[in-house]
Structure 1
Amino acid sequence: MPALALGAGTASQGLYSDKSETLRDFPLQSHIQHVQPITGIVFWEDSGRNETDAIQLEYSYMRYGDIVSRKGEYDWAPVDKKLQDIAGRKHQAILRFYFVYPGDPTTVPAYIKALPYYRETTALSEKKTTGFPDWSHPELKRFVKEFYTRFAEHYDRDPRLAFLQTGFGLWAEYHIYDGPLKLGGTFPDKEFQAEFLRHMAATFKFTPWSISVDAADEEVTPLAGNTELLDLPFGLFDDSFLCKQHVKENEQNWNALDRERLRRSPGGGEFSYYNKRDQKLALAPNGPNGVSFETSAREFHISYMIGSDQPQYQSMARIQQAGLACGYKFRVLKFQVGDHSARVTVANEGIAPIYHDAFAAVNGVRAGGSLKGLAPGESATFDIASGGASPRLTIESDRLVPGQHIEFEAAL
């Protein structure tokens, strides 16, 4: 069953109302023809297949050490180039910084690695020689909090950035399932994890940030059953979506981290790589394990799903179709207009809210209330200080890049 308590409620959110003039119903026809911004199937930014409107989002890992090598000195050029290249394709970015990747040294900044008493661990993970940070050292803890403070100063309002993912362990996915897991050593202790999550919540005011559903592991993290931490506004990503054991394992993690949070924070992930079948059949009618992507996406209120290998198995038309099944989908239920004002009712017929501010606008004049957070099955009514004989209704957002547009359905 869906986790969100979906409803059919209507809220009045307009801040303007001209009660002196009579409003008339205005005819309106509109159709959603493209995957909507901030939603859909996601390709890796270096996939070479990104020049398409079948997607709206691109994903990239990032290394901390590429941004900082000396204490307090930040070079954001690698991030800016990544964001600019992606925006140039009329897409937005999902970024994830990591410290540990199997087969590689850590991405801990060089100045920390050179400090006295900082001792990394080198061990096998996925049969590859892998570096693990030393989370006993106070400078590493101080640095990672400072890093996200500085990152937010630069990018928290940046329309090129849709979502941010973060975490610890292998691929920043909140686990070391293969390798030396030691809290306070190769993995942060629970006390610092809680401190870090609170810091993220206090630091990011506009860009949604997410952690892995594997953070539900009560032996490794402090989240499970902790009401205060679960109230923090983090979203969730699931990097083995549609795997065979999803119901027994992944879904339990979603539940432990409170799926109601998807009213205010995004849900996403990546199609499972447990075996070739998971990728090959991810967008097949019955999925790889008997459940279609569209069915699972609706159940977990998915806004985005990384599927960079899908062009090997599916047409761009099918990828676009799957993308259209993600996230929000707005329908205008009523549009009334006077000489100087208008009233519009907008419903969300999608499977998740929009997580950035977006506004109904008439002739470029925006409503006072935002569509952000409007849950599936809900609607909102807005009064707008513009009308006239030929009004133009749009949905506008400052979190879009040039070439992106929020569309809506209407048959009035």
Structure 2
Amino acid sequence: MRKALFALLVLFTLAAGTPAVAARPQWTPQTYTAAPADNPLKGFLPFAGDYETFPHSMEWFYLPLSDVMTGPRKFDWDAFDSQLDAIAARGHQSVFRFYLDYPGRPSGIPQYLLDEGLLTRPYPDFGNNGVSVAPDYSDPRLVAALENFITALGRRYDGDPRIGFLTLGLIGFWGEWHTWPYDGTTQPENWMPGDDILTRILQRYENAFDRTRLLARYPSPLNKNLDIGYHDDSFAFETLPPTSWHFVQRLIDEGVTGKWRREPVGGELRPEIQSCLWDQPVSCTQYEDYSESVDQTHASWLINHAAFTGTGFTGEKYQRAVAGARALGYELTVTAAKLTPGRASVRIANRGVAPFYYDWPAELAAVDRSGHVVRRWPTRWTVDGIQPGDAPTELSARITTRGLRHGRYDIVLRLPNPLPGGTPLRFANTSQNTTSGWLTLGSVTAR
């Protein structure tokens, strides 16, 4: 009996005296699912308006320069702010362009320049029939006006959370930096300004904007080394090589096929194919392969107003168009997470065709069993620049559960949109809350 009691005593003593070895936290795989088609700063967008027929996070608009510029250095921003505010009130960001000459619309040339005798040229092309006029882009008064405007625009709006992207505009028909056929080819006249003036305009844009992303219509020797992306306004129609004036061939010729890794690409689906491209089979009389166009351009967003008009698309056609919108831009997914009460770590991969271009800061939080956020931790994490196809980016931050009541807490992650009420960035994970933006990484216990 004594031997039995002694044996039990030794057993209990050994058990009590052997310290438990804490298991090291392990990376826990996170499950992928397709991200929402209305993730911010990507996808299809309509011309500005209140539409519920198709998922989107941005809206497009044009504005004549004459609406805001009233003198060489005088500006009335009310019309511009009203448009930005109306779009922001719907939780969306704006993509826009200022113009001087839009065929079929009244001139956008500031009145004071017309009063000073700026030379203008009427033309019948593109259904214009003299409604708009082309200005003399080489007139020093106009060049100075454009430079002053760009500086004032950047000073007031660079980094404005209401703005998603800015296309340069101002020069040429529709602000698309061409005056064809009046470019010295089809017609002997050349209405475009010289490279010296275009260089001044481009440099002024780059100097005026550090945070808001800029896009030019055409790749060229003048912009290839600038922090400016591109927009293809004839997407899936005049996009693919080898035709010399097609968008990708221009990228190839200028040696900027990889510029998308740091600067965005956007544009517009050619209006004639915005609807028929999603038929099965495709019913357009002329078009290019959409998936191939996306893959070669790495486009993040496209105007596709046909998806929003009337009752929009329905049935399988709608689903094909949603898949087309989702294929644009980034798709960020957390592949794995590792948590302790003192640290949170994640691995993030990009399954899309382009990076996210803005450095929105991420935040972590603890959520109690009733679903309330009880503590937040700001981080220095950003996801901008995570490239498609690269190995997952690993991010780690200190957290602490000290002071929380005993119990288990979910640790969640999100990248809030800096636009109040704006669509949050949602990760491509099954544990992503698509309304609040919080992604559940796992749980920890506060003791």
Equivalent position SS for 2:46: strand
Change (3 A) 1:187 1:347: same
Correspondence list, 1:360-371, <5 A = 360-363=362-365, 364-371=376-383
Kindly tell me: are residues 359 and 192 of structure 1, through their superposed partners in 2, closer, same or farther at Cα, counting changes over 3 Å? same
In 2: Cα distance, 1:113 partner to 1:188 partner: 18
Structure 1 pair 183–150 and aligned structure 2 pair: CA distance change class (3 A): farther
Q: Which amino acid aligns with 1:211?
A: A
Give how far 1:92 is off: 1.1
Hey, what does 1:376 align to over in structure 2? 388
Give the SS at the match of 2:249. Answer: helix
Alignment match, 2:40: 37
- Displacement, 1:381? 1.1
CA contact (8 A) 1:349 1:376 kept: yes
2:104 is matched with which residue? 103
- Structure 2 match to 1:122: 122
2: CA distance between counterparts of 1:262 and 1:183? 36
Q: Which runs of 5+ in 2 are unaligned?
A: 1-22, 366-375, 402-407, 431-440, 442-447
2:251 corresponds to which residue? 254
For residues 348 and 190 of structure 1, the distance between their equivalents in structure 2, rounded to whole angstroms, comes to 38
1:281 correspondence with 2:276: yes
For the residues of structure 2 that align with 1:381 and 1:367, how far apart are their CA atoms? 14
The question of whether the paired residues in 1 share the 8 Å contact of 2:29 and 2:335 is answered with: no
In the TM superposition, residue 370 of structure 1 has moved relative to its aligned partner by 2.0
Work out the percentage of aligned pairs sharing the same amino acid: 24
Does the 8 A contact of 1:90 with 1:403 survive in 2?
yes
Report the alpha carbon displacement of residue 197 of structure 1 after superposing the two structures with TM: 1.0
**2:279 paired with 1:267:** no
Letter of the structure 1 residue corresponding to residue 291 of structure 2: E
What is the match of residue 204 of structure 1?
Answer: 209
Does the CA-based 8 Å contact 2:31-2:335 persist in structure 1? no
Query: Residues of 2 paired with 1:103 and 1:174: CA distance?
Result: 17
Moved more, 237-246 or 303-312: 237-246
SS of residue in 1 equivalent to 2:87: helix
Q: Distance in 1 between matches of 2:387 and 2:159?
A: 23
- Residue 67 of structure 2 corresponds to 66
Measured against aligned partners, the alpha-carbon deviations of 1:259-299 in whole angstroms (never above 9, x if no partner) come to: 211111111111113xx4x2332234565457542342122
Measured after TM superposition, the shift of residue 408 of structure 1 is: 1.0
Q: For residue 243 of structure 1, what is the aligned residue in structure 2?
A: 237
Q: Read off the aligned partner of 2:267 and give its amino acid letter.
A: G
Give CA-to-partner distance per residue, 1:292-318, whole Å, 9 cap, x none: 423421221110011102346733544
- 2:389 is the counterpart of 1:390: no
Q: Which residue of 1 aligns with 2:17?
A: none
Kept after mapping to 2: 8 A contact 1:210/1:236: yes
State the secondary structure of the residue aligned to 2:278. coil
Larger Rg: 2
> Cα distance, 1:352 vs. partner?
0.6
- Cα deviation, residue 358, structure 1: 2.9
How many residues of Structure 1 are paired with residues of Structure 2 in the alignment? 375
Asked if the contact 1:133–1:187 (Cα under 8 Å) also holds between the matched residues in 2, the reply is no
- Structure 1 residues 361 and 111: alpha-carbon distance in aligned structure 2, compared to 1, 3 A threshold: same
How far the C-alpha of 1:157 sits from its partner, in A, is 1.4
C-alpha distance in 2 between matches for 1:291 and 1:387: 54
Query: 1:165, 1:244 → 2: CA distance?
Result: 19
CA-CA distance at 1:373 after TM superposition: 1.5
> Hey, what does 2:88 align to over in structure 1?
87
Report the CA distance shift for 1:263/1:281 in structure 2 as closer, same or farther (over 3 A).
Answer: same
Q: Given that residues 236 and 287 in structure 2 are in contact (C-alpha distance below 8 angstroms), is that contact kept between their aligned partners in structure 1?
A: no
Structure 1 position 300 matched with structure 2 position 301: no
- Structure 2 CA distance for partners of 1:324 and 1:245, relative to 1, 3 Å: closer
Change (3 A) 1:109 1:185: farther
Question: Hey, what does 2:435 align to over in structure 1?
Answer: none
Give RMSD over aligned pairs.
2.8
Secondary structure of the residue aligned to 1:332 is strand
Question: SS of the residue aligned with 2:70?
Answer: coil
Q: For residue 71 of structure 1, report the CA deviation from its aligned partner.
A: 2.9
Change (3 A) 1:398 1:294: same
SS in 2 for 1:94: strand
Q: Which residue of 1 aligns with 2:423?
A: 404
Structure 2 SS opposite 1:309:
helix
Counterpart pick for 1:327 among 322, 326, 329: 329
Q: Is the 8 A contact 2:261 2:355 kept in 1?
A: yes
From 149, 170, 182, the equivalent of 2:173 is 170
State the distance in 1 between where 2:44 and 2:25 align: 41
Instruction: Give the structure, 1 or 2, with the largest relative contact order (CA under 8 Å, sep 6 or more).
Output: 1
Conserved 8 A contact 2:269-2:302: yes
Secondary structure in 2 matching 1:44: coil
Q: Provide the C-alpha distance between the structure 2 equivalents of 1:290 and 1:169, rounded to a whole number of angstroms.
A: 25
Q: Does 1:309 align with 2:306?
A: yes
Contact preservation (8 Å) 1:35, 1:55:
yes
CA–CA distance in 2 between the matches of 1:354 and 1:55? 16
In 1: Cα distance, 2:298 partner to 2:281 partner = 18
Q: Is 1:354 aligned to residue 351 of structure 2?
A: no
| TM-score of the aligned structures, taking structure 2 as reference length | 0.76
Report if the CA contact (8 A) 1:136-1:184 is conserved. Answer: no
Q: CA, structure 1 residues 390+299, in 2 after alignment: closer, same or farther (shift >3 Å)? A: farther
SS at match of 1:331: strand
Letter of the structure 2 residue corresponding to residue 119 of structure 1: L
For residue 187 of structure 1, the aligned residue among 186, 189, 192 is: 192
